[in-house]
Chain A
Amino acid sequence: MSMLEAAHENDIELEGACEGSLACSTCHVIVMDVNYYNKLEDPTDEENDMLDLAFGLTETSRLGCQIVAKPELDGIRLALPAATRNFAVDGFVPKPH
């Protein structure tokens, strides 16, 4: 089960517009602990392509649909970014809320 699916099962508001097909960045999550981030497999080029477009990207950002639950990740904490919209390919900077 991916983190996106887990969020939906627990009524957590994580939008997954493309239903986990690496075609959007609405399930962008921030891994709060670097040691947990390092336990994850490197993002593929496709995931990186979509992370490029995520709002509020950080050094430990991943797409929730690509983090798959496994025992080593027990206790992982994920933060939702302040907004999941207003990304742009052309360098447009969204106004803060």
Chain B
Amino acid sequence: MFPIVLAILLLDSNQRPCPSSSSTVPTNTPLPRRLIVAYSPSIAVFDFAVPSSCIPFAVPWTVLLRGVPSQLSALQPPLRLQILEPCPPDIRPCARPSRSLIVGRRMKGGLLFRGWKTLTSRGFCSLNDKSLRVCVIGSGPAGFYTAEKMLKAHERAEVDILDRLPTPFGLVRSGIVVNQFSRVASNERCSFFGNVSLGSDVSLSELRDIYDVVVVAYGAESDRSLGVPGENLTGIHSAREFVWWYNGHPDCRNMAPDLKCTDTAVVLGQGNVALDVARILLRPTSELQTTDIAEHAMVSLQESTIRKVYLVGRRGPAQAACTAKELREILGMKNLQVHIREADLVISPADEEELKASRIQRRVYDLLCKSATSHQGHGFAGQRELHFIFFRKPDKFLPSEDQSRVGGVRLEKTCLKANGLSGKQAAIGTGQFEDLNCGLVLKSIGYKSVPVDGLPFDKYRGVVPNVKGRVLSSDQPENVNIEQGLYVVGWLKRGPTGIVATNLYCAEETVASILEDIDNGLTASPSGSPKPGRQGLLQALEDKNVRFVPFGGWEKIDSKEKLEGQLRNKPREKLTTWDELLKAALG
């Protein structure tokens, strides 16, 4: 919990560095580059060497300077000192200082420096200052955080962000982060290219030829499948598509889920997405009228006859995948009867262990318990109901009487068994079945990423094999090579989990790997000639007649949507077809 002492580098009285026993630098290493320490009132230069690799990012570190010259000793703490980046001795120090340090205390014979090394401290001091051409594929949070950090960390980086949609930001269409990302896109070293599809408009190998660094950040646009009979019956959809539909995603504009054929919907899964779709189905539509929900969905929901939603999970309340905030939102809905069986809330010692280990799970479980006891009382006809069903997994889907669509789902009762390897408990079928009638099924069991040509892919885990964001050429551990210049971030790297902020740390890790590789010359092209970057992309797109949407094009879409929204007292009225979007952006 306290700052870790990572490296203590000592200067002897002649001011030559000698690594201490706690440093990782062996004594016969050639002298690292000179570190320039600046202090008020003037710059003093010490032959004081700190190998960059000794100081990880974003972690406190401590350095002890012994035998300091008399000028420093005379100054009174707290002293404000800045450590400038290591520079080759024959050229000017780089202008950008790293974070300043404050002297902790005076030790016997020296001064103790304690501080942080952050990504922003990475300056470049070569006379041969080369531009760095970066391509980020995917403009969701992962892509934008990566772009932001690359721009901050490298003064000459040019970052191009590609997205197959004309609109940026991925799943985050609005909110605080969008403002932040818009600032990134407005940076003159950053360009957005919408309506550019990886694979069909430009291939991964072409991009790797054009750019020094390519980062794949295109997330997860497919679904895990259950693999049970009847999965193809009409009326069974993935929750992801349903969410795209009501959010106005152009790919699901014509999905037209039938919400009038039944009063019961079954949602398989109990994660945040499952709660989201349940909430949309159960919320009074008057409340939705002032949101930016797509108009076609609004009409459909107003005519909906669905009044009961079942949230079905294979395991118990101690394993529910949702988080407290989302659960509070749905449990707090007015005029909603929430049903949770008390018997399901009984927890085993193994459950207790899991809850002890995870604060998140504990808070979710507590919320479910509280809800079970407080939501009693009689309902009225047509009242909306939310049922949490635990310990059930789908065995097959049953057709409706006229065989035209789904009529129900057969569930198998489960019990939990400890999985020795992972420590988690798995749901095992018990051979007892029961049927649940419904006319709509939404599968919310996880998103899945889609592989593309030329990109190594782990089919089992549904991610790109990588180490700290560096893409590996094979998912076999024995035969691993690092793909030069190719990196991954976000859901495509970690799997489709976490929240928006999770990508902040994910991007930090990947960008740290990129910067390390640049430092070690691992991203330089073998021929030595610079890559064409943005110009190369523009040429490639022109050759294929691709009409890309620049950030200004998105701004036109944004303005139009907001204008239309104003007429209807909504924050915006989304454009939901490819034609409308491209016309607004480029027409």
Contacts and interface: CB of A to CB of B under 8 A. Distances in A.
A13 interface: yes
Given A11-B102, A83-B59, A91 B358 contact: yes
B325 to A, nearest CB: 4
B395 interface: no
A53 B59 contact: no
Contacts of A91: 358, 424
Interface in A26-56: 26, 30, 45-46, 48-53, 56
Given A87-B505, A88-B502, A89-B360, A45 B3 contact: no
Nearest to A86: B505
B197 interface: no
Interface in A56-97: 56-58, 79-92, 97
Nearest to A21: B176
Given A13-B118, A52-B324, A89 B498 contact: yes
Contact of A81 (B1, B177, B501): B1
B501 A97 contact: no
A18 B504 CA distance: 10
B497 interface: yes
A13 B99 contact: yes
A57 B1 CA distance: 9
Given A45-B324, A89-B323, A18 B99 contact: no
Interface residues of A, number: 38
Contact of B505 (A23, A82, A85): A85
Interface of B: prevailing SS: mixed
Given A88-B497, A89-B499, A79 B2 contact: yes
Given A21-B176, A88-B497, A58 B1 contact: yes
Contacts of A82: 1-4, 59-60
Contacts of A97: 4, 6, 56, 59
B312 to A, nearest CB: 20
B504 A24 contact: yes
Contacts of A11: 80, 99-100, 102
A25 B1 contact: no
Interface of A: prevailing SS: loop
Contacts of B1: 30, 56, 58, 79, 81-82
Contact of A49 (B60, B177, B324, B505): B324
A85 B509 contact: yes
Contacts of B324: 45, 48-49, 52
Contact of B363 (A48, A58, A83, A85): A48
B176 A45 contact: no
B4 A53 contact: no
Nearest to A91: B358
Contacts of B3: 80, 82
Given A49-B323, A91-B358, A85 B497 contact: no
A95 to B, nearest CB: 10
B212 interface: no
Contacts of A24: 501, 504
A84 B360 contact: no
B116 interface: yes
Interface string B225-245: 000000000000000000000
B378 interface: no
B334 interface: no
B58 A83 contact: yes
Q: Which of B4, B363, B505 has the most CB of A within 10 A?
A: B505
B508 interface: yes
B328 interface: yes
A53 B360 CA distance: 8
B115 interface: yes
A18 B59 contact: no
Interface string A1-29: 00000000001010101110101111000
B509 to A, nearest CB: 7
A15 B494 CA distance: 23
A45 B84 CA distance: 42
Contact of B323 (A21, A30, A52): A52
Nearest to B321: A90
B359 A57 contact: yes
B505 A52 contact: no
A17 B509 contact: no
A94 B429 CA distance: 32
Contacts of A30: 1
Contacts of A51: 359
A74 B454 CA distance: 59
Contacts of B56: 97
A17 B323 contact: no
Contact of A18 (B80, B360, B501): B501
A74 B23 CA distance: 38
Interface string B79-104: 01000000000000000000110100
A90 B501 contact: no
A19 B508 CA distance: 18
Interface in B499-544: 499-502, 504-505, 508-509
Q: Which of B363, B424, B499, B508 has the most CB of A within 10 A?
A: B499
A97 B468 CA distance: 13
Contact of B502 (A15, A80, A87): A87
A91 B233 CA distance: 35
B212 to A, nearest CB: 25
A33 B443 CA distance: 48
Interface of B: 1-4, 6, 56, 58-60, 80, 99-100, 102, 115-116, 118, 176-177, 321, 323-325, 328, 358-360, 363, 424, 494-495, 497-502, 504-505, 508-509
11 contacts: A13-B99, A25-B501, A49-B325, A51-B359, A52-B363, A82-B60, A83-B58, A85-B508, A89-B323, A90-B495, A90-B497
Top 8 nearest A-B pairs (CB, nearest first) are: A13-B116, A85-B505, A24-B501, A90-B497, A49-B325, A52-B360, A89-B498, A52-B359
Given A17-B501, A45-B328, A90-B495, 13 more contacts: A17-B504, A46-B325, A52-B360, A79-B1, A79-B2, A80-B3, A85-B509, A87-B505, A88-B502, A90-B321, A90-B497, A90-B498, A97-B6
